[in-house]
Amino acid sequence: MEIRIEIIGFGTVGMGFLEILNRKADILKEKHGFVPKIVAISDKIKGSLIDYKGLDIQKLIKILKEGGNLKDYGKGFYTFEEKNSIDIIEEIDSDILIEMTYTNINTGEPATTHIKKAFEKGKHIVTSNKGPIALFYKDLKKMADERNLLMGIEGTVLSGTPVFNLVEETFPPNSIKRIKGILNGTTNYILTKMETEGMSYESALKKAQDLGYAEADPTADVEGFDALAKVLILSNVIMGGDLKKEDIKREGITKISSEDIKEAAKNGFRYKLIGSVERDENDKIIASVKPLKIPFSDPLSGVSGAINALTFETDLLGEVTIQGPGAGKLETGFSIMIDVLRIFKKINKQEKK
């Protein structure tokens, strides 16, 4: 069965998704009957591309890898001024809209408007964008449910390492009492370098910047804002909370010194920036982001480098810990892939009824 896909925001993750579609085309078709038809792409820098018959994915990847642009694809190209993302969402008929514009954790825009417009047009959504989900999950979920549409958000936490699909598909009827984990690869990399190589915070940060893990302005990572957005998502999506940013206590890693790390290690502990959300005895959701000393015996303590991890405390299984990549082109492209495939299977099932 063909599924019509529209892409809004086409950068690193978009390219990762296309590469997976290309590399896994045979298995996707043979095993799942999945044949993607990308009918439109709209990107602020690269422009917009429309082909109702479906864009040639291999041709597109080749052009982009050779340093070309959407314009070089030929027929169906428009500049962003001629046709912007909103025009595309309103004009194009598709089954799934994939939203991959940049994350804005203060306004959630432009993604929130894209997602709302897509729901109004009856399109399912897949996104790796934290902004709209951290800020407006309840409203967006309501819009989706009212229209019998699905919203895939796997890439918003731990990129392609399964979190939401895992919890939704394989955890019931467990009750999750607490989720805690390492939600930011950059800070985990810095803390690891400070411990294993005795680096100062400044040198470890510089190294993270040189390797492209940390931005020139590292505030979002090192002060815990990125982890906070993910804790907010875990609170509201998995734990059923209705928290706002201000409800979450946040502390970054900038006050931790090499001496603190050495002292902790002497006593069998390791510093980690831990995002945590739990229900207290009064059924209230409590969430925080802060550096904690974790005993060497805890699985989170052994997670080193730019890796993410989460421990779910459940009533039937006890503690379940997952770890895996929290960023990257293919890794986040994979998060888009699993959500698109899940929605495809649901549409397929409904059509067969």
Ligand X SMILES: NC(=O)c1ccc[n+]([C@@H]2O[C@H](COP(=O)([O-])OP(=O)(O)OC[C@H]3O[C@@H](n4cnc5c(N)ncnc54)[C@H](OP(=O)(O)O)[C@@H]3O)[C@@H](O)[C@H]2O)c1
Compare residues 83 and 180 and give the one whose CB is closer to ligand X. 83
> How far are the Cα atoms of 177, 285, 316, 339 from residue 173, in angstroms, in the given order?
13, 20, 8, 22
The tokens of 10 are what? 């086409």
Which residues make beta-bridge pairs with 90? none
If the CB atoms of residues 100 and 264 are measured against ligand X, the closer one turns out to be: 100
Task: Report, in Å, the least distance between residue 291 CB and ligand X.
Answer: 22
Min. distance of Cβ 33 from ligand X in angstroms? 28
Looking from the CA of 323 toward its CB, the CA atoms found within 13 Å total 17
Cis peptide bond N-terminal to 173, omega within 30: yes
Give the CB-nearest residue to ligand X: 11
List b or e across 5-35, with b for residues whose CB sees 16 or more CB atoms inside 10 angstroms: bbbbbbeebbbbbbbbbeebeeebeeeeebe
Give which of 94, 6, 93 is closest to 42, Cα–Cα: 6
Structure tokens at 58: 């291999």
Burial 327-338 (b: 16+ CB within 10 A, else e): bbbbbbbbbbbb
Least separation in angstroms between CB 274 and ligand X: 19
Residue 174 DSSP one-character state:
P
The CA distance from 243 to 298, in Å, is 28
Tell whether omega for the bond before 291 is within 30 degrees of 0, i.e. cis.
no
Please compute, for residue 65, the number of CA atoms within 13 A of its CA located in the half-sphere on the CB side: 10
Identity of the residue, 233 or 239, whose beta carbon is nearer to ligand X in the bound complex: 233
Least CB distance to ligand X at residue 90 (A): 13
Q: How far is CA 167 from CA 8, 26, 322, 353, in A?
A: 27, 28, 11, 26
CB of 40 to ligand X, least distance (A): 11
- Least spacing, CB of residue 297 vs ligand X, in Å: 30
**Sites of contact with ligand X (CB under 6 A):** 8-14, 42-45, 85, 100-103, 110, 128-130, 155, 159, 327-328, 332
Task: Please report how close the Cβ of residue 301 comes to ligand X at its closest, in angstroms.
Answer: 24
Nearest CB to ligand X, comparing residues 129 and 288? 129
Please tell me the distance from the alpha carbon of residue 156 to that of residue 73, in angstroms, as a whole number.
Answer: 30
Show which residues are catalytic.
Answer: 230
**Measured CA angle at 38 (ends 36, 40), to 5 deg:** 165
Nearer Cβ to ligand X, position 323 or 332? 332
Smaller CB distance to ligand X: residue 80 or 171?
A: 80
> Max Cα separation, the chain?
65
Kindly tell me which of 18 and 190 has the beta carbon lying closer to ligand X: 18
